[in-house]
Structure 1
Amino acid sequence: MAIPHDARPAARSGAPGTPAAPHLTVRGEARFDVAPELARLDITVGARDRDRRATLDALTRRNAAALDLVRSCGDGVERLETGSLTVTPELGSRGRGERVRGYHGTVRLAAELSDFAVLGDLAARLADLDLTRVDGLRWSLRPDSPAHRRARQEAVHDAVRRAREYAEALGTALDALVELTDTGVPDLPPETFAGTAPRGFARSAADEEPPPLDLEPQRRRVQAEVTARFTLVPPEL
């Protein structure tokens, strides 16, 4: 038999349950897979020569070529950033002193795309550039993706459903929500593939463009987890 709401003792978060206001704590979960919204490519452009200026000139050209290829994808590029620039003198392994035998330079770029139709062609053309390494793919969702909202809501619905099932097993009903905690579930690490262009390979102007890679987007797992505490209408045991 339910007691009038005004006669029930006030429930406080963290307070233990009592026979007059028993507590029930449950976990709610949601897990499902969705299509990715973004794909990231990591690009490393390199140059090496005995002459410092020649190294810088080659690095500048190859960096510009990589940037132009990515930018040619237009609105399909969500983000394009330069991560780091390194130019390092290489010392000789023999003899004493600071004898420089050459220079090695690298530029690291990160490109994030939302248009997967151009992704395979871009990856192949980037990997075909001289001394250019392509790493990826990293499939992901946007931080504000509706999938995250759906997961959180489904986790709450799951917690309420579980709590009602426990209450029904006791022959009673839920009274009030005392506390709801987002316990969080870490995102799964994105799967990647990695490829490296042949080092020292020079493609002539007469060579054809490489065929696009056939890339299938990998579905991403979305998860959410909550802990909910309720008060119950005191059951008759």
Structure 2
Amino acid sequence: METTPTPYGTPDAPRLAVRGEAHLEVDPEIARIGVTVSARGTDRRDALNDLTRRNATALDLVKSYGDAVERIETGAFSVTPELTRQGRTERVRAYHGRVHITVELTDFTALGELTTRVADLDLTRVDGPWWSLRLDSPVHREARQQAVREAVQRAREYAQALGTGLASLVELADIGAESAPAYGYGGPAGGMRAASYGGAPDLGDAPPLDLEPQRQHVYATVNARFTMTPPDLGA
């Protein structure tokens, strides 16, 4: 006859449930900036040609930093007419074009200079940087392992308080394995640090921005259940 496991253990095999947690604060591995290139013209073809030229200039500048730039991605592209009303009719007053580019860097020494030079381009906006870790960063593994070690240590301390020791591991569960992830970043990776719009006077050789990397917070939490050697509570 099969017996149903007792969720709280038995007198011969008391069950102990604990939680292990880890919090690591580390330097970021990646910085991302968003670049928006704009163009405006009364003729659609002229606006499009101008946007193409400005986009090529921005991309050439970013690519000139070689290995410091790990990834370049072009996002949304748009050419939108600006309408004006004349009496009961509407006509196109101008055309506005925009291209959004995402740049990912791993060399932070080049970040400040690149951000300044891109922001100095005509009709170009820069947002960022946003700091983060790689998805496969070993920091995540380190946090998980630290959480497990903390759970085992906590369980041993409870068992020692009863004058006994741990017998076996019954269950180890990653908190959030069936819902939200249990580890990740402690809030957004970074806020808007720099923004520039075209139309500003020529700055010449603008000094590079001094951008301090934002420390990243990585969390991990596990639930662990053990059985203990029966303690002698009469001692």
**Greater CA deviation, 100-109 or 143-152?**
143-152
Alignment of 1:114-193 (within 5 A): 114-183=106-175, 184-188=182-186, 189-193=188-192
Residue number in structure 1 paired with 2:194:
195
Measure the CA separation in 1 of the matches of 2:74 and 2:159. Answer: 57
Question: In the alignment, does 2:19 pair up with 1:27?
Answer: yes
Given that 1:35 and 1:220 are in contact with CA atoms closer than 8 Å, whether structure 2 keeps it comes out as yes
Residue number in structure 1 paired with 2:221:
225
Task: Map Cα deviations across residues 135-169 of structure 1 (whole Å, 9 max, x no partner).
Answer: 01111111111211111111100000000000011
Given that 1:11 and 1:178 are in contact with CA atoms closer than 8 Å, whether structure 2 keeps it comes out as no
Opposite residue 197 of structure 1, the aligned amino acid is S
Given that 1:130 and 1:197 are in contact with CA atoms closer than 8 Å, whether structure 2 keeps it comes out as no
**Greater CA deviation, 190-199 or 212-221?**
190-199
Alignment of 1:72-111 (within 5 A): 72-111=64-103
| Identical residues among aligned pairs (%) | 58
Which stretches in structure 1 are left out of the alignment for 5+ residues? Answer: 1-9
Moved over 6 A (4+): none
Given that 2:40 and 2:95 are in contact with CA atoms closer than 8 Å, whether structure 1 keeps it comes out as yes
Given that 1:124 and 1:212 are in contact with CA atoms closer than 8 Å, whether structure 2 keeps it comes out as yes
Residue 94 of structure 1: how far off its partner (Å): 4.4
Residue 194 of structure 1: how far off its partner (Å): 3.9
Measure the CA separation in 1 of the matches of 2:88 and 2:151. Answer: 71
TM-score by length of 1: 0.88
Which stretches in structure 2 are left out of the alignment for 5+ residues? Answer: 176-181
Opposite residue 210 of structure 1, the aligned amino acid is A
- State the number of aligned residues: 224
**Greater CA deviation, 118-127 or 209-218?**
209-218
TM-score by length of 2: 0.89
Given that 2:121 and 2:198 are in contact with CA atoms closer than 8 Å, whether structure 1 keeps it comes out as no
Measure the CA separation in 1 of the matches of 2:9 and 2:90. Answer: 75
